[in-house]
Structure 1
Amino acid sequence: MSIVSQARLRLLAGAALIALPAVAHAAPAPAADAAAAPAEAPADTAADANGGLQDVVVTATKRETNLQKTPIAISVVDPQVMKDRHVQSLLDLADGGVPSLRIATFEARQSALTVGIRGIVPFDANQTARDQGVGVYIDGVYLGRQQGLNAALFDVERIEVLRGPQGTLFGRNTEGGAVSIVTRAPTGEFGGRVSAGVGNYGGYNGELHLNLPAIANISFKIDGLVQHQDALVKNPLPGNYGWGYYNRYGGRITALWKPVDGLSVELSYDRARDENTPFYSQLVNYNPKNLPVATLAQINANNGKLPAGMIAPLSPLVKVSGDKRMDVADIGVPQQLSVDKTDGFAATIRYKASPDIELRSITAWRGVTTDQWDNSGGAHRTVFLPNAKFSRYSLSWLHQRQFSQELQAVGSLPNLDYAAGLYYFTERAQEEAATPSTNQWNADGTGYTVLSPVVTGPITSGNQGWAPDNWFRQRGSWARARSYAAFAQATYTPEGLDMFHLTVGGRYTKDKRYGRLYLVSGAATPWEFRFDKSRFDPMVTLAVDAAQGVNLYAKYSTGYRAGGANDRSSNFGAFGPESVKAYEVGAKMDLLDHRVRLNLAGYIMDRSGTQIDFDHVDTNPFLPGTSTPNPTFNLHTEDTANAPGNSKIRGVEAELTVKPVDGLTMGASYAYTYTHIPPTPNPQDAGKLTQVFVVFTPRNAASGFVDYEMPVGGGDTKIRLHLDANYASSMYSFQNEATKTQPSFVVNGRIALTDIQLNDHGQKFTLAVWSRNLFNETHIYRRSSANAAVLGDYANFNPPRTFGVEGSVNF
C-alpha cells in the first residue's frame, strides 16, 4: 500500500487553507422536506447580486431555515456534490468527504453499514435486539436496521448530517447525530431527467426521474435506477462470484394531492434490491509473534491438533499479501450473492390550520429482508491443519418490518417559534444464521477440495451444508421493539433584543423490547430478554447574532442508545442503554460580501454505559442452561458489557468555503476527535479489566476540494472541473484490539461539459468523465490481530480506482 506521501500531505494542507469541504458546498434552496414546514426560506439577495455563495436551506429544526442561522453543527451533501464524487449509496461517503461522519462495512459486508458521527460508532449493531448510535432517516422516517442501509439513493435533494446528539427532535439512537436524507417531491409539471453511464470493472448505471403534469390537483413522480459493478477481486472457483460486486436496482412512485389551499397529502412507495458480495479478507502477515512452526508430524502426533505454543504451517497455496490489494484470490471458494430487499410506504399529510401553525402526520411502513452469503476469508482467516475443513461461510437470513407514526405541530407566536409532537415506533426482527465450512485441505496443504453445496444424510456439525434447507443453524432469534415519545422545542427571541435567541427543548421516550434466542448450535434454548425504560432528553441553546453574518451559539444536549441483548451470545446476554451529555460552542460566519463562509464547532461529550462487545470461543461441551451437548465444542460467541464510568469524547470541527472569483469555489473541512473508554470488565474472562477502543474514528480527518466552471460557446454551456482530496489518520477497527488500520488519502475527480442546449424546449445535455480514488491509493480500512497467535493478521482494503463516463439529459 502507498503510505501518505509528504507531497500529498502538503497538497491537502494547502487546499485546507483556502478551500471548502465538499459537504458544505453551497446549494440552491431545495424543495421542502417531507417532514419540514413549507415556511418561506430566508433569501439572500446580496449573495445573488454579487455572485457570492448561495444560501443553504436545511430542515434540522422541522422547519426550513438558513444553514448559517441554524445553531446546530450541520454538513450538507447536495446533488452537485453527489455528482462530482459519483456518490451512488451511503457507502460512497466512506472516503471521508464529511470528516466527522464515518461509514464502514459491518465485517466486510456491503449488505450492512456501520454509521457513526463524532466518535459514537457502534461495533456490532447488526442484530435483532440492538441499535446504532446514529439515526438514519429518509424523508423523516427512521430506518431501524443496519441491513439495507447501502441501498441505492433515489433522487436525493440533499443529505443533512446533523452532528452531535439529536435526542430532542429526532429521538432515540441519535446520541452521535442523525443522517437525514431528503428526496425531491413531485413538481406537478412535466419534466425530469435521464442519465446513463459505463465504467471499468464492468460498471454501468442508469436513472430515470419523471414528473407528470398535475391532474385534478394530483401530481405524480416516478423514479427508477440501476447500478452495477463487477467483482474487484476475482474468484478462481468457476461459476461463483468474486468480491466487491454489486448490482442494485429499484423504483419509487410518489403522488402529491393538494385538494384545497393549505392541505397536501403525499403518498410514496419504494422497492429496491441490492445484490452484492463482501470485500475480500486478506492475510497480510504470517507468524507476526515469531512462534515455532509446527511440522505435519507434530500435528499428526497430536491427534491432528496444533500443539500448544506453536503456530500452524502455512499452506503453499496461501499468499501473504502484505500491503498489496489482491486482484485474484488464491483459494477458490463458493461465494453467492447476498441479497438485500427493502421496501416502504409513507403517507405525509400537511394542514395549514392558520397562517401561524401547520399540523403534520407522517405514517410509514418499512421493511428489509437480507439473505447474507459471506465467504470473504477463504484460507486467510483459518489455520491449515491436515484434512481439516476451512473457509467459514457466514450465512444469515434476516427479516424486519417496522411501523412509525409521527404527529407534529410547527408554528409561530410573537417572538416564539415552536415545534411539538408525538411519536410511535414498532418493529419486529428475526434472524437465523449458520457458519458451515466450504473447503477441505488435503493431507499436506498442497491441494484442497470444495465441498458439495448440497448435504445428504443427517445434518450435524461435522456435516454442514450451505443450501438453506441443509443449514446447521448456529443461532436463531427474534425481537420486538416499541417506542413512544412526546417532544417539544421552542426558540424565543426577546422583544427589542432580537440578536439573542434562546432555544429550549425536551423529549420523553418510553422504550420496550422483548425477544427470544430460541436456537443455539442447533439446539432449542429458553433464553428471553425484556427491556422497559423511560428517558427524558433536554436541550438548551443560546444563539447570538454577534454581527452581520456572524452567528455564535452555545449548546447543551443529551442523547442515548437503547439497551438490548446480544443474539451472538450463548444466552441472549442483556446490556443496558448508553447515554451522552454534550456541551458545544460554535460560530457560523458569512464574510467578505458572502465570498467566505466559515463554520467552527468545539464540543465535549461524556458518554456513560458505553456498549462494548467481547468475542469468545465457547468450548463448553454443554449449551448454557441446558443438558444438550454442544456438538461443535468451539462455538463462536460474543458478549456485550457496559463500560464503567464515563467515556470521554472531545472534538473540534471546521468548515470553510471560499468563492474568490465567479466560477471558482474552493473549500476544506477538518475534524479532530479524541476518544477514551475506561477499561471494561470482560464478562468472558472473569471480569478482567480490558482496555477497549472506539472504532472507525480517526484522530485527524480532513477533506478539501476545488471546483471551477468556465462558460464555453453560447448559452448556458460550461466546462466544470472538480477535484477533492480526503485524508484520515489511522484508527481502530475492533473494540478490544489495539491494532490500527492505515492512514488514507483518497482523491476523486470529475470533468463535465454541462447544460448543452439540445433544442428550443429547454432540454439540456451533460457529459461527464469521473474517477473515484483517482491515484489508486491503497490502504487497510479494517484489520484484526485476533488470529496472530495461530496464523497472522487479516485485513480488508479500500476499493481500487474506478472511473467512467456518464451522460444525462434534463427535460
Structure 2
Amino acid sequence: MRKIVRSCLLAATALGPSGGSALAQQVEAQPGALPEIVVTSQRREESLQDVPLAVSAFTADTLETRVIFNTLGLLNFVPNMFGSNNTGLGSANAYYIRGLGNTETIATFDPPVGTYVDEVYLSRQNGNNFGFFDVERIEVLRGPQGTLFGRNTTGGAVNVILKRPGDEFGGFLEAGYGAYGRVLVRGSVDLPLSEAIQVKLSGYWNDDKGYVRNTTTGERLNDNDMLGLRAAVQLRATERLTWNAAVAWMEANGENLLNFTCDPRNPTNCAGRFVTTGMREGGPAGGRYTQTVTGRKANFGLGNEVGTLLVTSNIEWAGDNHRLSIITGVVDMSQDFALDFQDGRASPTAANPFPAVRGFTNGGFAILNAGRHQQFTQEVKLDGSLFGGVVDYVAGFYLYDESNQTDFADLFTLDIGSPTGLPLLLADRILVNDTKAQAVYLQADVKLTDQLTVTGGVRYTDETKTAQLLDNRATCAVLPKPPTCLGASLVASNGTPIPTRLETRKWTPRFVVNWKPEEDLLFFASATNGFKSGGWNARATANNLFLPFDPEFVWSYEGGVRSQWFGNRLQANLTVFWLDTKDLQTPSAFQNPATGAITFITQNFADYVNRGVELELTARPLDRLNVYANLGYQKDKYKVSDTLAPNRFGVKAIRQQQADCRAQLAAGRIPLGVGADNAPDCAAGIVTATGDIATPVRTPDWSLSFGGTYDFPFERSGVILSPSVNVTWRSSLEQGTANATIFSGSIRAPSGALYPANPFSGDVITGSRTDSHFLVSASLALRTDDDNWLLALECDNCFDTEFGQSSLVNYTYLNLPRTWLVRLKRKF
C-alpha cells in the first residue's frame, strides 16, 4: 500500500507548493529536503506536519515569491477560502472559509474569521486589510477555533506573527514603482543595544493614484494608500524571563467603489475602469451634504480613512517544562468615510437594467460614517509538559473589553428629473455598543502510546453585549422624544420589546485522536465546537427594524492525513470536513420597492451545512525547483425550518416568504420589478427569484491553485534569476444572499409593460452570478548569490481577468484589475 501511495504522490510532485508554507524554525533533515515548519496554531510551538488540524502557513519568503503584500492577497492560496474587499471599503476584507464569512462592518456584527497579530485579536473587520512589513509568518486556520482562539472564529482565523528584534545589527530597505502611479517603500532595522536589550524599527508606505476614473468629476478613485510604522523591543531580564513589546500605527485609506469596465456615460469606451458618481473627494459644494446631516461627517469628502493604533505586550517566563505568557493588547481604531453605493444614480431593476447616469452630488445612496473603536485584551497562558512528556497542555484565562461609537447617516437621492435630485435623509444616528467577555480554557494532549495521542479541550466564555441608539435629528433633541426617533421606543412590529442587552454563556469543546504510525505519517480525526456572538441589525432606519439576531453555533468534524515523502521532498496534507452550523447569521440587503433606497437586514435565516475536501501539496522535485498545488472542494446548503409562523419579533418565516413568493410568481409578478409588477418576496433574503432557497454565497464548488519557482544560477556573475508563476481557478459561485441577478431577454409584466431584462435566465447583465475564472500572477526576480540585493518585476492578475467579487442591490463589484510593480531591495 505504501509503495502504491508513494508512486501516486511522485506523479503529483509536478503540481506540488512554492518555497514551503511557514517558518518559525527551519531545519533541513537532509540535502534538498523541504524545511521543517514550526507553527503556533495550537497556541504552542509544533511542527506543521504534527498539527492535527487544517492549517495553511506562509513564510516571509513565500509571501514575497507569490506577490502577497497585504492580507487580501492570501485569498488565492488557501483551499476553500474566498473573499474580497467589502463593498465600498478597500480597508476591510470579507473572508469566507468553508462558507462562513461576513460582508458587514457595522460594530454590532462580528466577523466569523478572526484576525490576530502577535496573539492579539483584532475585533473589527473595518481595517483588517493592512500591509505586511517584517512578517515572520502567517497561519490561516480553517474551521472553528473556539477552544484556543475563542469566540468569533467559527470560520477560522488569520494569525499574523511579526518578527521580533534580532541579536545582530541588520535589516533591509526596498522601494518600488508600479501601475497607476504606485509607489512602495518598506524597511526594517534591528538595533541590538546590548545582550539584554534589542530594538526593531519597521515601516511601510504605499501610495497610488487609483485605478478608476470618475467621468463626472474627473477624479481618480479606488486608490490603496497604506502606511505602517512599528517599534518593537525585546528585554531579556534573565535567561528565563523575556519581555517583548511593540507599538504600531497602521493606516489603510482605500476605497472599493462600485466601478465598471465600460464608461456608463459612454458605453463604447471600455479602456479602463469607470465610475460616474457626483460625490467629490474634496467634499460637497457648500461644505455639507445636506443641511440636516449633523456632525463632522457632513463635511467628509468621498473616500475612506482608517487609522489603527496597536500595542502588544508579551511577558514570557520559560521553565524547564513549562512556559508562562502574559499577553496584553490595546487596539484603538478610527474610521471616517463617505461612500456612494449607487454610483450617483438608481439601482438596476428588470424594468431598468441600465439606470441613467445622473451624477448626483449627494450620491445615489450614500453612507457617511465617523467611527471610533477601542479594545483591551488581557490573557494569561500557561503551556508545557507533565509526567515526563506524557501530557502536553495549554491553559489560560482571557479578558476582553470593547467600546464602539459610530456616528453615521444614510442619504438617498430621489431622481425627480433635476440635475441634483432630491436628497432624503433616511437616518442620522449614533450607535454606542460595548462588549465584555471573560473566558477560561484548557487543552491537553495525552500520549497513550508512542503512536497514539488523544486530545481534549474546552473553553468557557461569558459574554455581555449592550447597544444604544441616539437620534441626531434636531426634532429628537427634545424631551420626551417623539416615538419616531431612533432609540426612543425600541419595539418590534408585533409589539415585542427589543432588548438592548444580550448575554451568552457557552462551553466550546474540542476532541481529537491522532495516530502516527511512523515519523513521516500522521492520521487524525477531530470534533470541534465554536460560536459567534449575536448582535443587532444596526443599519436599521426605523426602531422596529433594530432587531437582534442570535449567536451562531458550529460543530466541525474533520479527518485528515499529514505526510512527508522521498526524504521530505514532498509534503502532502489531506483534510475532509463536515461543518454543521446552527442559526447562521446572514447579512442581506435589498431595494425598498416603495422608495428605491437600500434596506439592510441581518437575521438567523437558516442553519447551514457544508462538507468538503482540501488537499495541499508542497514539493521540491529538483534542488532549484519549488512547486505547489492546493485543491478545495465543498458542497453546501441552507437548512430551513418548515415552520410558517413568524419569529418572536414578528419577522416572516422563510417558508412563509417562499410560499408568498411562489404565489406572486403564479400571479405573473416579476421579481426585481417595480411598483405593482414587483414580486417583493422573491429575490430577497435567501429566497431566489424562482421561489427556491438560495445557493449559499462565496462558496465555489471547486478551487485550485498551483505554481512554482525555479532558480537559474549564473555563477560567474554571482546572481540568481528566479521566475515564478501562480495560477488560481475557481468554479462559478453566487455573491448575493438571494442570488438575485438581472439577465438579458425581455419579459412582459402584469401591467402590460415590456421589461427589457428579466431575473430568470439569459446572459448576465449585473447582480449575484459569477462565472468560473482563472487568475495568474507572476514575477521575475534577480538576486545576488549572497542574498543582499534583489530586483524584481511582478504582476498580479496578469491577464486582467474580470469577475464579480461581491454584489449589493443588483450591482456587481469587480475584482482588482491587472497591476505590475518593479521592486529593488537591499539587505544589510
Kept after mapping to 2: 8 A contact 1:15/1:668? no
The code of the aligned residue for 2:796 comes to: R
Give the drift of 1:589.
Answer: 0.8
Matched, 1:370 2:341: no
Matched, 1:574 2:568: no
CA distance in 1, matches of 2:378, 2:70: 26
**Partner of 1:215 in structure 2?**
194
CA distance in 1, matches of 2:179, 2:357: 39
Kept after mapping to 2: 8 A contact 1:742/1:781? no
Give the drift of 1:779.
Answer: 1.7
Matched, 1:177 2:162: no
- Please point out which of 810, 813, 820 is paired with 1:796: 813
Cα 1:271–1:163 change in 2 (3 A) is same
Structure 2 counterparts to residues 460-539 of structure 1, below 5 A: 473-494=427-448, 497-519=449-471, 523-526=485-488, 527=490, 529-539=500-510
Kept after mapping to 2: 8 A contact 1:679/1:692? no
CA distance in 1, matches of 2:615, 2:110: 29
**Partner of 2:3 in structure 1?**
none
**Partner of 2:14 in structure 1?**
18
**Partner of 2:743 in structure 1?**
none
Give the drift of 1:696.
Answer: 1.7
Cα 1:387–1:480 change in 2 (3 A) is closer
CA distance in 2, matches of 1:254, 1:44: 26
Deviations, residues 44-77 of structure 1 (Å, cap 9, x unaligned): 553xx23111111111112211111111111012
Structure 2 counterparts to residues 386-785 of structure 1, below 5 A: 391-413=364-386, 414=388, 415-436=390-411, 448=419, 473-494=427-448, 497-519=449-471, 523-526=485-488, 527=490, 529-569=500-540, 570-571=542-543, 572-615=546-589, 636-644=598-606, 646-679=607-640, 688-689=657-658, 690=687, 691-713=693-715, 717-738=719-740, 739-755=768-784, 757=786, 764-783=788-807
CA distance in 1, matches of 2:236, 2:586: 50
**Partner of 2:255 in structure 1?**
277
CA distance in 2, matches of 1:269, 1:519: 36
Cα 1:491–1:743 change in 2 (3 A) is same
Cα 1:551–1:163 change in 2 (3 A) is same
CA distance in 2, matches of 1:343, 1:748: 32
Kept after mapping to 2: 8 A contact 1:139/1:182? yes
> Which sits farther off after the overlay, 211-220 or 201-210?
211-220
Q: Secondary structure at the match of 2:487?
A: strand
Cα 1:638–1:325 change in 2 (3 A) is farther
Give the drift of 1:128.
Answer: 1.8
CA distance in 2, matches of 1:144, 1:722: 35
Give the drift of 1:498.
Answer: 0.4
Kept after mapping to 2: 8 A contact 1:517/1:525? yes
**Partner of 1:68 in structure 2?**
49
How many residue pairs get aligned? The number is 699
CA distance in 2, matches of 1:664, 1:283: 38
CA distance in 1, matches of 2:358, 2:317: 72
**Partner of 2:77 in structure 1?**
97
The code of the aligned residue for 1:778 comes to: E
The code of the aligned residue for 1:603 comes to: F
The code of the aligned residue for 1:512 comes to: T
Kept after mapping to 1: 8 A contact 2:278/2:359? no
CA distance in 2, matches of 1:118, 1:325: 36
The code of the aligned residue for 1:794 comes to: Y
Cα 1:524–1:379 change in 2 (3 A) is closer
Cα 1:390–1:407 change in 2 (3 A) is closer
Q: Secondary structure at the match of 2:130?
A: coil
**Partner of 1:348 in structure 2?**
314
Give the drift of 1:122.
Answer: 2.1
Kept after mapping to 2: 8 A contact 1:381/1:794? no
Give the drift of 1:144.
Answer: 0.5
Kept after mapping to 2: 8 A contact 1:518/1:525? yes
Deviations, residues 425-461 of structure 1 (Å, cap 9, x unaligned): 1101111222335797756xxxx45x9xxxxxxxxxx
Q: Secondary structure at the match of 1:610?
A: strand
Structure 2 counterparts to residues 80-119 of structure 1, below 5 A: 80-94=61-75, 96-119=76-99
Q: Secondary structure at the match of 1:60?
A: coil
> Which sits farther off after the overlay, 575-584 or 376-385?
376-385
Kept after mapping to 2: 8 A contact 1:697/1:732? yes
Kept after mapping to 2: 8 A contact 1:211/1:222? yes
The root-mean-square deviation of aligned C-alpha atoms, in Å, is: 2.9
**Partner of 2:823 in structure 1?**
806
Give the drift of 1:715.
Answer: 8.7
Kept after mapping to 2: 8 A contact 1:108/1:281? no
Give the drift of 1:764.
Answer: 1.3
CA distance in 2, matches of 1:219, 1:730: 50
**Partner of 1:337 in structure 2?**
303
The code of the aligned residue for 1:215 comes to: S
Cα 1:264–1:386 change in 2 (3 A) is closer
Give the drift of 1:524.
Answer: 4.2
CA distance in 2, matches of 1:727, 1:109: 25
CA distance in 2, matches of 1:426, 1:805: 43
Q: Secondary structure at the match of 1:688?
A: helix
Kept after mapping to 2: 8 A contact 1:318/1:331? no
Cα 1:175–1:430 change in 2 (3 A) is same
> Percent same amino acid among aligned pairs?
26
TM-score by length of 1: 0.81
CA distance in 1, matches of 2:792, 2:357: 52
Kept after mapping to 2: 8 A contact 1:281/1:796? yes
Kept after mapping to 1: 8 A contact 2:20/2:62? no
The code of the aligned residue for 1:542 comes to: V
Q: Secondary structure at the match of 1:201?
A: helix
**Partner of 1:312 in structure 2?**
none
Give the drift of 1:805.
Answer: 0.9
TM-score by length of 2: 0.79
Cα 1:439–1:196 change in 2 (3 A) is farther
Cα 1:224–1:317 change in 2 (3 A) is closer
Deviations, residues 467-504 of structure 1 (Å, cap 9, x unaligned): xxxx885343111001110000111112xx20111111
Cα 1:216–1:68 change in 2 (3 A) is closer
Q: Secondary structure at the match of 2:62?
A: helix
Q: Secondary structure at the match of 1:127?
A: coil
Give the drift of 1:138.
Answer: 0.3
CA distance in 2, matches of 1:347, 1:695: 38
CA distance in 1, matches of 2:268, 2:88: 17
The code of the aligned residue for 1:639 comes to: I
Give the drift of 1:185.
Answer: 0.3
Deviations, residues 163-186 of structure 1 (Å, cap 9, x unaligned): 111111101011111110000000
Kept after mapping to 2: 8 A contact 1:28/1:54? no
RCO higher in 1 or 2 (8 Å CA, sep ≥ 6)? Answer: 1
CA distance in 2, matches of 1:579, 1:337: 36
Q: Secondary structure at the match of 2:700?
A: coil
**Partner of 1:302 in structure 2?**
none
The code of the aligned residue for 2:442 comes to: A
Give the drift of 1:722.
Answer: 0.7
- Please point out which of 237, 260, 263 is paired with 1:259: 237
Kept after mapping to 2: 8 A contact 1:281/1:377? no
Matched, 1:77 2:39: no
- Please point out which of 171, 175, 182 is paired with 1:192: 171
Deviations, residues 386-441 of structure 1 (Å, cap 9, x unaligned): 99986223221111000000000111012111110000111011112223357977
Q: Secondary structure at the match of 2:770?
A: coil
Kept after mapping to 1: 8 A contact 2:261/2:271? no
